[in-house]
Amino acid sequence: MVDTHNLMANINQPLGMDSDPPFHETYKTLFANSIIKSSPSNDDPGDTVEERELPLIDLSRLGLGGELEREGCKKEIARAAHEWGFFQVINHGISRDILETMREEQVKVFKQPFHNKFRCFSAGSYRWGTPTATSLRQLSWSEAFHIPMTDISTPGGFDTTLSSPMEQFATKVASLAQELAEILAEKLGHKSTFFQENCLPSTCYLRLNRYPPCPIALEMFGLMPHTDSDFLTILHQDQVGGLRLVKDGKWIAVKPNPEALIINIGDLFQAWSNLFYKSVQHCVVTNPSKERFSAAYFLCPSYETVIESCSKPSVYRKFSFREYRQQVQEDVQKYGYKVGLPRFLV
């Protein structure tokens, strides 16, 4: 059960620094109602779980090694996408200097007063919490900036000191995402230009995340369990930790690696690959004393793009990305969570 005394004490605390979103004030009804609700089951991602390292792949083997080395690297990428749905890469072409500078500037942006972030950035780019939440377990204790790739060079509201490293990071990860998508398609026997033709700067985006310290961390998610509604995601995170995912039916904690970028398969790639590559549930758990920062790139197609399995018989019926997004939004509004690909089974 929720600790009533501690919960009420934390609710009544000051909201903290002006830079933090007003979680307690905005969601006070959820906090009050949670007092009489039970805690989640033992298989909850917020429980104490085993920490494991993701499969580690050295991308320098794609360019420096011989043909056998290149093919071996490609097979490892496909195997990790099939068995884990997640893997990490090193020697990815993005310098430590770019990553560290971007994080430093990212911190400064998030430390602005909340009202500045809420009012000064373009509509829809700054998001926090979960407007559709009907319980604490559906509330994400985080804030984020969603930035279309076409706006990276002139992101409204951002200082130019962030724009430069962000643009360098975005350019590199966009190229890396296309390269990885082509490799994953190739290992299924398809030398396809599908991703280059349909996943364009106008359809992909970057998301800068901050997960503030949470006084009731055991009861809250930084980002509730979900799968990504894209082809693949590239993530750079700090060393605080908190990322968790499902492996072999159990939740595990991902051990941070300062040299690596994390890659995960999205729903669209699972459908396109006819269930060969796995889009797995993952989440971010909160920390009672430390804030966490990350930056994620999402490889997405246009809304008109039709997703169809690359082999037969198909597990999923074909659908447009627009149809998929609309179904996800309807389910979230109705149930408080995403249903996803099971809606599109043949």
Domain CATH code at residue 244: 2.60.120.330
pLDDT (average), residues 324-339 = 94
In order of 55, 114, 219, the CA distances from 48 in angstroms are 22, 32, 13
Reported in sequence order, the residue ranges of 1-138 that DSSP labels E, i.e. its strands, are 51-52, 56-58, 86-90, 126-128
> Where residue 156 falls among pLDDT bands split at 50, 70, 90?
low
pLDDT (average), residues 234-254 = 96
Q: Kindly tell me if the per-residue pLDDT of 96 is higher than 80.
A: yes
Q: What is the DSSP letter of 345?
A: B
> Where residue 34 falls among pLDDT bands split at 50, 70, 90?
confident
pLDDT (average), residues 142-152 = 92
Alpha-carbon gap, residue 224 to 294, rounded angstroms: 16
In order of 44, 48, 61, 246, 281, the CA distances from 251 in angstroms are 8, 9, 31, 4, 9
Report if residue 266 sits inside a domain. Answer: yes
What pLDDT was estimated at residue 41? 45
* Per-residue pLDDT tens over the stretch 266-317: 999 999 999 999 999 999 999 999 999 999 999 999 999 999 999 999 999 9
pLDDT (average), residues 74-95 = 97
| 87 closest CA partner among 57, 44, 67 | 57
Lowest mean per-residue pLDDT among 188-202, 224-238, 243-257, 271-285 = 188-202
Report if residue 321 sits inside a domain. Answer: no
279 alpha carbon, distance to own chain's centre:
12
pTM: 0.91
Lowest mean per-residue pLDDT among 144-158, 189-203, 223-237, 247-261 = 144-158
Reported in sequence order, the residue ranges of 126-260 that DSSP labels E, i.e. its strands, are 126-128, 143-148, 205-211, 221-226, 232-237, 243-247, 250-254
Report if residue 52 sits inside a domain. Answer: yes
My answer on whether omega of the bond before 313 falls inside 30° of 0, hence cis, is yes
Q: Kindly tell me if the per-residue pLDDT of 337 is higher than 50.
A: yes
Q: Kindly tell me if the per-residue pLDDT of 179 is higher than 50.
A: yes
The SS3 of residue 170 is: helix
Judge whether 328 and 267 are in contact, CB under 8 Å.
Answer: no
What pLDDT was estimated at residue 92? 96
Q: How many structural domains comprise the chain?
A: 1
Residue 284: both structure tokens together:
């971010």
What pLDDT was estimated at residue 86? 98
Please report, for the chain, how many H helices and E strands are present, in that order.
10, 15
CB neighbourhood size of 201 (10 A): 14
Q: Kindly tell me if the per-residue pLDDT of 90 is higher than 60.
A: yes
> Which single residue is written with the structure tokens 């939440």?
133
Report if residue 12 sits inside a domain. Answer: no
Report if residue 258 sits inside a domain. Answer: yes
* Domain membership of residue 113 as a residue range: 45-313
What pLDDT was estimated at residue 292? 97
Percent of the chain with pLDDT over 70: 89
What pLDDT was estimated at residue 314? 97
CA dihedral 226, 282, 239, 72 (to 10 degrees): -120
Lowest mean per-residue pLDDT among 1-10, 144-153, 218-227 = 1-10
> Where residue 26 falls among pLDDT bands split at 50, 70, 90?
very high
Half-sphere exposure of 46 (CA within 13 A, CB side): 21
- Residue 292 a catalytic site member: yes
Alpha-carbon gap, residue 78 to 17, rounded angstroms: 45
Among candidate residues 79, 119, 292, 325, the one labeled active-site is: 292
Q: Kindly tell me if the per-residue pLDDT of 192 is higher than 90.
A: no
Report if residue 28 sits inside a domain. Answer: no
Q: Kindly tell me if the per-residue pLDDT of 155 is higher than 70.
A: no
pLDDT (average), residues 160-183 = 92
Report if residue 11 sits inside a domain. Answer: no
pLDDT (average), residues 19-37 = 83
Q: Kindly tell me if the per-residue pLDDT of 50 is higher than 50.
A: yes
pLDDT (average), residues 152-161 = 68
Q: Kindly tell me if the per-residue pLDDT of 7 is higher than 80.
A: no
Alpha-carbon gap, residue 267 to 271, rounded angstroms: 6
What pLDDT was estimated at residue 122? 63
Residue 275, C-beta contacts closer than 8 angstroms, at least 6 positions apart: 315, 316
Residue 287: both structure tokens together:
């920390």
What pLDDT was estimated at residue 40? 42
State the average pLDDT for the chain: 89
Judge whether 222 and 286 are in contact, CB under 8 Å.
Answer: yes
Report if residue 2 sits inside a domain. Answer: no
> Where residue 151 falls among pLDDT bands split at 50, 70, 90?
confident
Alpha-carbon gap, residue 139 to 42, rounded angstroms: 19
Q: What is the DSSP letter of 316?
A: B
Beta bridge partners, 235, equal 262, 296
pLDDT (average), residues 165-194 = 94
Judge whether 337 and 134 are in contact, CB under 8 Å.
Answer: no
